[in-house]
Structure 1
Amino acid sequence: MQAKSKKLIFIAVLLAGCIITSLISTNDKAKALPGGSSLLQSAQSAVTSKTAQVKTVRVQVSGAVLEPGIYDVPASCRVEEAIAAAGGLSENADSERVNLVRKVRDGMQIRVPVQKAARTSRTQRKSAQAKSGLGESASKKYGSAKAGSGMMQSVRINSASARELQQLPGIGPALAQRIVETRNSGRFTSADDLLRVPGIGKAKLAKLRDYVEVD
Structure 2
Amino acid sequence: MQAKSKKLIFITILLTGCIITGLISSNDKEKPLAGSSLLQSAQGAVTSKAAQAKTVRVQVSGAVLEPGIYDVPASCRVVEAIAAAGGLTENADSERVNLVRKVRDGMQIRVPVQKAARTSRTQRKNAQATAGYSASSTKKVGSTRAGAEKNNSAVQIVRINSASASELQQLPGIGPALAQRIVETRNSGRFSSVEDLLRVPGIGKAKLAKLRDYVEVD
Identify the TM-score tier after normalising by the shorter chain.
Answer: 0.3 to 0.5
If the length of structure 2 is used for normalisation, what is the TM-score?
0.45
Higher share of residues assigned helix: 2
- What's the TM-score once normalised by structure 1's chain length? 0.46
Q: Say which one has the larger Rg.
A: 2
